[in-house]
Structure 1
């Protein structure tokens, strides 16, 4: 969606990283390495303002992710549609509501049931999804875009000033959306117990994530704008169309379908991380006595399946 703004989107990615993502990441790294036992956001805010405010913050964090899930799952369904031929069929399938609903719910409940087997199983899936479904496709997108430019192919980027017009309301909307993209670094702090040395490992992971996020977002956005006119950019399908266009310019259009499969796997990995993240924080709330006794129980793998089931029912209804 940011590709519509061309080079100005890069200004906001960098600006938001400096004034928000960097200090926010520093705070998360400091708190996670100081309170390295459990609870994440709930523990941090409870230490400062008391458990009721900690519970409130953790609940709002959980609700934010739950409400956002459908968008991510719909993108996963669109990605799966693009593994077929021809592209006209892919577009039609990706726009079909019944298909989208079935695939979205299948992704969600598959990752939820996998999480029932324990945090290690969820982490394995999210790690593999992050590597093969996000980082590698992101790197490929950037390399293809550079080659595309070097070969002198036609680009559709709007050649506007790097610095936006701050009096224009649309630039404010863009800035707000990018700040929102950078939120969520605190979610993974609930997993510090899974690290052998969280005081050192969590800050390192945060800074590595920050560098990768900024690079993939900023450069990847430009690559999409290179091959798709801004008026044709679509939230769910444009990334997949960009891959097809870039590979097609080298006579390898079929690899765009392969990339769609990788991205679909990335959505599964992301879902696996987010299914357990805020829910793990809620479990800390439950075990502190701020949820009914029935919501405090865990299975033999240490997973609070009742919270995950309640979360799944809400996501399904949405």
Structure 2
């Protein structure tokens, strides 16, 4: 029997970077202005630190394909596990659609060819189904993609940060940098972007679903989370600083991406450098989606096998046991969203889809933190290779702080707090979409549990 390929520690670290580091979210964060630096430091302490510690303990204690679904189910039962698996899964095809709508513009940047709406839809569908096809194969077969995408992401982030510093030194600083300007304004606009920073810090638990392909998961999971977390934090702050010192905040929008930042920094919309950056950025989108699909599909399939997701999700490949049912459903849902997009009100489609995926994604994490504390109480004797040390009061702080951050983010991202026509046009589709997906998930859970009770 052929032995499975195994992750090395370096591959595990690069995979975490590939999963967690989201290059396309750099510009929306920069749109906050200088107060983003306060939020970066604040959320690194109040969110990333407790989240990393909790993920390391749970990921090394409860190893398997279930990930956060398994943790929440063990702590609070199948109904809450089902909710988590649904929110965790549905975010992915929405995110996939949000990135797919970026690909025609990237191809236009690389080729200079004007792309019509029908051709753009075809390109977006090709992007979607190529991701689906690659996810039919084991993660160990895609190590080179994940590692390559992680390296390219870091290169792009360092380039945009370094180029920004160079432009600031040679042409002057674009925004006023004073202690006052770096303090948070607490206005609705900046607070709604906090969710993007939190999104940029999520995903460490995905590496836990790769445990059966690691050389030594009980050591590699916490090591990769700690090392990758430090690297990611440093790169995020450096790239954000480069964009902020060189590009006026009013020139950055939620729909801007890293390529827009390169165009603004170089003062050019074409040329070999912009074409190369667009190509490399496109590769990172593939890497991001592939790495996430592997973790999300494993979790959804595992939940289906425990009768907490629709039966279609439990379908596995006879050849390699990969969860092809969940992967096919990713493609179907993302394709529906892509085809519907041209008929939606004229708005920033990337931000609309991205925000909706953001809401569902954040919802899936709300029960994870109290699950950590409850498992300490109801399952105290299980061996914990990595155990967060501290008294109960400290552990409660670790649980409460990130939960508060997520709930605040959800409110400012999904709830209309400004009733002006423009604000409602932007926010209401996100609110309505989130409600629809939540109710749909509750209906699935009710049906599945009625069948269980019978």
TM-score range (shorter-chain normalised) is 0.7 to 0.9
Change (3 A) 1:314 1:261: same
Aligned to 1:5, the other structure's residue is in SS state coil
Q: Give 1:19's match in structure 2, choosing from 46, 51, 67.
A: 46
Residue 213 (structure 1) aligns with: 232
Report whether the alignment pairs 1:204 with 2:223: yes
Residue 171 (structure 2) aligns with: 153
Q: Give 1:270's match in structure 2, choosing from 273, 285, 288.
A: 288
Change (3 A) 1:125 1:108: farther
Q: Distance in 1 between matches of 2:91 and 2:83?
A: 12
The 5 Å alignment of 1:278-293 reads: 278-291=296-309
Change (3 A) 1:264 1:255: same
Report whether the alignment pairs 1:194 with 2:195: no
Q: Distance in 1 between matches of 2:314 and 2:50?
A: 34
Residue 136 (structure 2) aligns with: 116
Q: Give 2:259's match in structure 1, choosing from 240, 252, 267.
A: 240
* Structure 2: tracts of 5 or more residues without a match: 1-27, 338-454
Report whether the alignment pairs 1:61 with 2:79: no
Alpha-carbon distance, 1:34 to partner = 0.8
Residue 150 (structure 2) aligns with: 130
Q: TM-score, normalised by structure 2?
A: 0.62
Residue 258 (structure 1) aligns with: 276
Alpha-carbon distance, 1:28 to partner = 0.6
Contact 1:244/1:253 (8 A) holds in 2: no
Which has the larger displacement, 137-146 or 292-301? 292-301
Change (3 A) 1:310 1:235: same
Alpha-carbon distance, 1:155 to partner = 3.5
Contact 2:207/2:221 (8 A) holds in 1: no
Residue 174 (structure 1) aligns with: 193
Deviations 1:257-312 (A, max 9, x none): 21111011000101111222211101111222444655433211111212211221
Q: Distance in 2 between matches of 1:7 and 1:269?
A: 30
Contact 1:6/1:158 (8 A) holds in 2: no
Q: Give 2:73's match in structure 1, choosing from 46, 58, 64.
A: 46
Q: Which runs of 4+ in 1 moved over 6 A?
A: none
User: Paired residues, what number?
Assistant: 306
Report whether the alignment pairs 1:31 with 2:58: yes
Alpha-carbon distance, 1:123 to partner = 4.0
Q: Distance in 1 between matches of 2:176 and 2:334?
A: 38
* Structure 1: tracts of 5 or more residues without a match: none
Q: Distance in 2 between matches of 1:232 and 1:97?
A: 26
Contact 1:6/1:222 (8 A) holds in 2: no
Q: Distance in 1 between matches of 2:310 and 2:191?
A: 42
Q: TM-score, normalised by structure 1?
A: 0.86
Q: Give 2:183's match in structure 1, choosing from 142, 163, 168.
A: 163
Report whether the alignment pairs 1:105 with 2:125: yes
Change (3 A) 1:15 1:291: closer
Q: Distance in 1 between matches of 2:320 and 2:176?
A: 52
Deviations 1:200-246 (A, max 9, x none): 11112212332233223222223233443333324444421322344
Alpha-carbon distance, 1:25 to partner = 1.2
Q: Distance in 2 between matches of 1:12 and 1:295?
A: 38
Q: Distance in 2 between matches of 1:9 and 1:293?
A: 43
Deviations 1:53-78 (A, max 9, x none): 22221111111222222222223443
Alpha-carbon distance, 1:158 to partner = 4.5
Residue 143 (structure 1) aligns with: 162
